[in-house]
Amino acid sequence: MNRYPAWLNSLVLVILLVGIMLALPNIYGSAPAVQLADIDGADITQTQLDNYVRALENDGIKPESAYLSDGRAVIRFAKGAIEDQQIAGERLRARYENESNVALTLAPSMPDWVRELGLNPMSLGLDLRGGVYVLLEVDMNTAVENRMKGYEQDFDDRLRDARIRHRVDLNNQVLTIRLQSAEDMEKAREIVSAADSDVLIGDGTDGKSLIVRMTEAQIKERQDFAIEQNMTTLRNRVDQLGVAEPLVQRQGVDRIVVQLPGVQDPTELQKILTATATLEFRMVDLTGDMPGSRRYPGRGDETPQILRREVIASGDEIIDAKSGFTNEGQPAVHITLDSAGGERMLATTRENVGKPMSTVFIEWREESVTRGGKTVSRKFKTEEIIGTATIRGVFKNRFQTTGLTPNEARELAVLMRAGALAAPVYKVDERTIGPSLGQDNIDRGFNAIKIGFLAVIVFMAVYYRWFGMIANVALLSNLVFIVAVLSLAGASLTLPGIAGIVLTVGMAVDANVLIFERIREELAAGVQPQAAINSGYEKALSSIADANVTTLIAAIVLLAFGTGPIKGFAITLMIGIVTSMFTAIIGTRAIVNLAFGGRKITSLPV
Amino acid sequence: MRILKNKTHIDFLGSTRRKIALTISAFAVIVSLGSLIVDDPPLEFGIDFTGGVLLEVGYPEPADIETIRSALATAGFEDAQVQRFGTDTDVLVRLPPQEGWNPDELREELRRTVAGDISNVQLRRVESVSPQVGKELAEQGGLAMIIALLLIFVYVMVRFQWKFAAGAVAALAHDVIVTVGFFSIFHLPFDLTVVAAVLAVIGYSLNDTVVAFDRIRENFFKLRGISAEESMNTSINEMLARTLITGFTTLFVLIALLLFGGESIAPFSIALIVGIVVGTYSSIYTASATALLLGVNAQDLLEPVKDPDLIDDLP
């Protein structure tokens, strides 16, 4: 009686070994490292990596390990070698600025053979490693409005081409097309629905106007597009910042979470994330009275100019932008246009050699204003001329523009390379955790785990003697399993997550307490030891299952409704419940069977 | 080792004790609800719920709260709350949502103000939450609790019977109200982690209740011919050692978490400690007493399944 078949014992052993294996990377901790990502998003090659390492070694900096991970190069230094990391970061940045984005980070300091097995430690949440968390809300109204503006322009052009006299008004996402006479109605309707067969077209009350609006599906599609587009742009921008392991995630209908571990100054981040800066190139209107011409202010000492309505090239036609300096040493942005923009630039410059062209810097700035007791964020648009130059020769898609400070040039290059935001974003939640607080949180959390764990272990050993020791083995393996699952799932450990582990440690013994109490009851009722073990485990099973399922329900609800800190807690709690069922029921039984099963015993050390 | 002698025969559910317990429970619930209704605000909501700005500032030497407070007031932040956070050198500053400020300028202004003329002051943590997000979080938290209670009612009803389910949910509602009431009465900070803790309390207390119910069901079948009250009493006595031991081990770790886990996790630990003490009591009294009050008896469990072992194997 009370023997597990050999396969079951082996299975328990194998699972334990796998658990230990998966949890292994976590015991090595982390060390300062430098991470390099290709500036255009391509994978870093082994050759490039070798170059980086050689460059550092020539400077007398010896990395402990250097490898490729997810197309990025990671160069890790000895534990605590922050100085090496800083110097290496500077050197690499100076040397490879046009090739890669360099980020200072923490990398797991496990030996190479562990890494080559594809094992990874759990990542630490922002509250444990420091960093910035930002929740952005996408302005959906503007997203839809922008689309309507596109329609307005389109319908206007098409009706003009068809020589139908009309006036188009856009108000509150509703487009009103006023026609000269009722006779034009049918023709106009045909033109509009030919342009877009999905939009809703209704008749105006006056009998000679059309009311056009987007369908629900179109609006939804537009909103999804805006979110997706914004996320791509934000991701690009974050990559340009040179942050290791950034996270950009959609939350709910109209929100985007951005997490940047290790970033300490949210000011720069804020600018990059919410800024919508771009450039436009226009010819100066020398006569000053061409239709649609408008006066633009100059930035700083720049002379204001009257510029023509036609845009030669605008920000969304810029496919690459790099900051740098002109031959004269002025800060400049080197710009590459796409083919359409390039063609127009070519045509314009060919016809206008000797005439002045202006570069307009356009920026939307977010400011909080109070209106009717409510604070709302408003975007203010500023348009300034940053440079006017005489066209000296014909050029196409590659040229440079000046008139910015080095910082502005760098930021503008980042913004244009990353693409434009499809709709403005506003920050609704921002949390910055300093690195010292993160370290404190780790230290305190692990301290609490250690002390709580020790208290429980001593108590169990005293109270249930050898059976208590067996339960302690299960408890310890349970910790290993929680860490293993978290590492495997790539989940990040947060402070509430640590709290979840602590709580699991306290509650995980419950299953063993139920079993051991039951065994004691059976023994007290005069049942033989072997039979008592058996029925103790069997009869306690339904209670354990019920108890754990109910706790699991609470944890699942937490996971479903919780955000941020609550989720971290719920995940570890859930993992803990499941793994503790395994260790407390099957794990302890395997040991109990090995120790006491299959032989004659007269008493049990329980 | 044993904490209890071999078999206890405490008359938990005798009519006098039941009345006393009921009175205590009712009193605790009324005081809690009273505090939640009378107090304004009912709870010391953290900025998670109200929106606002929070700064955790680390000073190189013990900080003077009054100086910081008056510096903030001079700078126009009269409604700032300033308090020590864990150590003498750590200070927590809370502000209601600030209007008309650019977030970056606000942060810089606050940093300058709290630093005064002390150099190397660290901003250990800065959080700024808009009131709208806070409102959503509060709604979600409330919704989560209601859904958890509902699902649990269904589960217990399926596994046992509706009278037990009603008892379990009554006990849980009792635990939630008293735990939240505790935070209201003692003006403890109520943030998102406390909501998580209260939900964990629901899980824990239910765990306790279900284990007791499980034994009650077993004894309903085993001990024929005695009253439901006696049968339940025996069950609770049989499970008493387990209830107390699990309670102790969980409290051990939570006290470790409270003492060593740092200030920001303290409200979470307190909520769980209170909740587990109350939950242990309620699974003995409130849950069983409510089921008894609803007239639960062996027949309720006998009808649907003839052989209890058959369903015992289901998870």
Task: Please state the domain extents for chain A.
Answer: 6-24+438-596, 31-109, 141-219, 275-423
Which CATH topology does B52-128 take? Alpha-Beta Plaits (3.30.70)
Q: Under CATH, which number does the domain B15-42+133-312 receive?
A: 1.20.1640.10
Q: What is the pLDDT of residue A424?
A: 77
Q: Under CATH, which number does the domain A6-24+438-596 receive?
A: 1.20.1640.10
- Alpha helix stretches (DSSP H) within A393-433: 406-418
- A5: which 2 tokens? 């078949």
Going by pLDDT thresholds of 50, 70 and 90, the confidence category of residue A112 is confident
Q: Which residue has the higher pLDDT, B154 or A373?
A: B154
Which chain B residues contact residue A437 at CB under 8 A? Answer: 56, 58, 124-125
A445 vs B126, B195, B261: nearest CB:
B261
Going by pLDDT thresholds of 50, 70 and 90, the confidence category of residue A374 is low
Q: What are phi and psi of A451, to 5 degrees?
A: -65, -45
Nearest CA to A133 among A269, A259, A246, A272?
A259
Nearest CA to A386 among A359, A365, A362?
A359
Distance (Å) from the alpha carbon of A271 to chain B's nearest alpha carbon: 9
A554 vs B100, B200, B248: nearest CB:
B200
Question: CB-side exposure of A320: number of CA atoms within 13 Å?
Answer: 12
Which chain B residues contact residue A375 at CB under 8 A? Answer: 97, 99-100
Q: Which residue has the higher pLDDT, A98 or A255?
A: A255
Residue contact B107–A266, C-beta within 8 A = yes
- B278: which 2 tokens? 């109350």
Nearest CA to A30 among A116, A125, A104, A107?
A107
Q: Within chain B, which residue ranges are assigned CATH 3.30.70.3400?
A: 52-128
Q: What is the pLDDT of residue A533?
A: 92
Q: What are the tens digits of pLDDT across the range A169-204?
A: 888 888 899 888 888 888 888 888 888 888 888 888
Q: Within chain B, which residue ranges are assigned CATH 1.20.1640.10?
A: 15-42+133-312
Q: What is the pLDDT of residue B306?
A: 46
Residue contact A459–B248, C-beta within 8 A = yes
Assess contact for B218 and B238: CB atoms under 8 A.
no
B242 vs A270, A517, A546: nearest CB:
A517
Q: What are phi and psi of A599, to 5 degrees?
A: -140, 170
DSSP string, B224-270: TTS-HHHHHHHHHHHHHHHHHHHHHHHHHHHHHHHHHS-GGGHHHHH
What's the whole-model pTM score?
Answer: 0.77
Q: What is the pLDDT of residue B315?
A: 46
Of all residues in chain B, the one with the smallest CA distance to A426 is B130
Give the integer Cα–Cα distance in Å for A230 and A2: 62
**Top-level class of domain A141-219:** alpha beta
Q: Do domains A6-24+438-596 and A141-219 have the same CATH topology?
A: no
Q: What are phi and psi of A5, to 5 degrees?
A: -60, 155
Assess contact for A153 and A521: CB atoms under 8 A.
no
Going by pLDDT thresholds of 50, 70 and 90, the confidence category of residue B302 is low
A429 vs B56, B130, B253: nearest CB:
B130
Distance of CA A527 to the CA centre of its chain: 60
DSSP string, A480-504: HHHHHHHHHHTPEE-HHHHHHHHHH
Q: Under CATH, which number does the domain A275-423 receive?
A: 3.30.1360.200
Distance (Å) from the alpha carbon of B262 to chain A's nearest alpha carbon: 6
Which chain A residues contact residue B59 at CB under 8 A? Answer: none
Among B7, B98, B207, B240, the strongest candidate for a mutation testing the A interface, having the largest count of A CBs within 10 A, is B207
Residue contact B312–A542, C-beta within 8 A = yes
Q: What are the tens digits of pLDDT across the range B202-244?
A: 888 888 888 888 888 888 888 877 888 888 888 888 888 888 8
**Mean per-residue pLDDT for A565-575?**
85
Which chain A residues contact residue B102 at CB under 8 A? Answer: 366-368
Give the integer Cα–Cα distance in Å for A25 and A19: 11
Which chain A residues contact residue B58 at CB under 8 A? Answer: 434, 436-437
Residue contact B128–A429, C-beta within 8 A = yes
Residue listed under structure tokens 């008309």: B100
- Which of A373-387, B212-226, B240-254 has the weakest average pLDDT? A373-387
Which chain B residues contact residue A548 at CB under 8 A? Answer: 207
Of all residues in chain A, the one with the smallest CA distance to B249 is A506
Distance (Å) from the alpha carbon of B48 to chain A's nearest alpha carbon: 9
Q: Under CATH, which number does the domain A31-109 receive?
A: 3.30.70.1510
Q: What are the tens digits of pLDDT across the range B74-107?
A: 888 888 888 888 888 889 998 888 777 766 778 8
